[in-house]
Every structure is written in C-alpha cells, then in structure tokens.
Amino acid sequence: MPKTPRRRGAVAIAVAAVLTASALAAGYIGGMTLTVRVEQLNGKTAHVLTTHDGMTLYYSTKDTPRKSMCTGSCTHTWKPFALVGKGKPTAPSKVLPHLSTLKRARVIYQIEYNGHPLYTYSKDRKPGDTRGAGKGSFRVATMATPRAAGKRGAGNETGAASGAGASSGGGAQASGSAGGR
C-alpha cells in the first residue's frame, strides 16, 4: 500500500513523539523558553536564568563551547536543558544574542548561554531553589555569566524568537558547598 501524504505526516508525528518521550526519559529537560528572575545570590542582586517554570539553570566551568563534559550518569543529576528538534528557544531580548545550541544526540540540542551548556539540578524541588550552586564545577547561570573559554567551533547560533519577559521573586541564597559530577 503506497504511503499518502496524510499517512507520512502521521508517521512523522509518531516518530517525533517517540523520540521526544525517549529523550525526556533519558534525563533531558525539554525547554523552549528561558526567563530571568531577579534574586539575591551571595548577598548580591543577580539576574538568574531559569526555565519557563522558574527552575534555576546552571553551567559547568569544565564545559567549553561546543562540548559538554557532563555525560552518562552525570546527566541524571545535572539534566541538560535542551530542545528536541531544531526549534529555537524564546527569551528576553537581552538574553537572545547570547544563546546558541549544542547537538547532544540525534535530535537533542542543548541550549547554551555565552557558550556554556545549560543544566537544571535534580535536587532543586521548586522555582527559586539554588541547591546546585557551587556543587563541584557547577554555578548558577546569570546574565553576568562570562563567555566560555575555548574555541566556539561550528554550531547553531539561534537567532531565537523573543518572548518571555523577566520575572521577579526568589530571595534564595546560593551556597558554595562542595560536590562533584
């Protein structure tokens, strides 16, 4: 039986659903929107990068542009903040020029800020938590996060669509406890 355009579309949707489900089950955090939360970190006002639902985003000082050092079991604790497919994230206009993506798997693209791949921390339970701050090489991602060291290489610069605005709240203090990945 020949495939009709309608049938091909249904197959494509089914494949995309399976890939999305397996990516999320593998520990990736799907995301299309970054927001900014103003809060106190180490006694200073910071513009913290967050997911659309207010969960804190982190970066690792061990990562370089185009390369995440967090693989395997590390991704169970530090979940890559990623897109499934080649979509573009939305973010406040001041954040957009600093976003890019890093291909992690066949259809998984981790979002980067200033060349740093972004992650959520599995032990953060609610919006505003910063329990991962200072754990090993991980730091809270803020608008002041410096550009990652190393060569950028070929990648996807997002020209992402603007959208989400800044939100306020928080008040959480980041601690500098030791840990590892």
Using CA atoms, how far residue 121 sits from 99, 124, 138, in Å, is: 20, 6, 9
In the DSSP assignment, the letter for residue 55 is P
Whether 155 has a pLDDT exceeding 50, the answer reads no
SS3 27: coil
The more confident residue out of 26 and 106 is 106
Torsion angles phi and psi, residue 20, rounded to 5: -65, -45
The pLDDT assigned to 65 comes to: 87
- With 0-12 / 13-18 / 19 or more C-beta atoms within 10 angstroms meaning exposed / middle / buried, residue 128 is middle
Residue spans of the domains in the chain: they are 5-168
Write out the DSSP string of 82-106. EEESS---BB-TTTGGGEEEEEEET
Q: 47-74 pLDDT, tens per residue?
A: 999 999 999 999 999 998 889 999 999 9
The pLDDT assigned to 88 comes to: 82
Torsion angles phi and psi, residue 26, rounded to 5: -80, 0
The pLDDT assigned to 113 comes to: 95
Q: pLDDT band at 45, cuts 50/70/90? A: very high
The pLDDT assigned to 159 comes to: 41
Alpha-carbon distance of 131 to 143, in angstroms, equals 19
Give the DSSP H/E element, type plus range, for residue 140: strand 138-140
The more confident residue out of 93 and 11 is 93
* Beta bridge mates, 84: 108
145 closest CA partner among 55, 56, 43, 22: 56
pTM of the predicted model as reported, rounded to 2 decimal places: 0.71
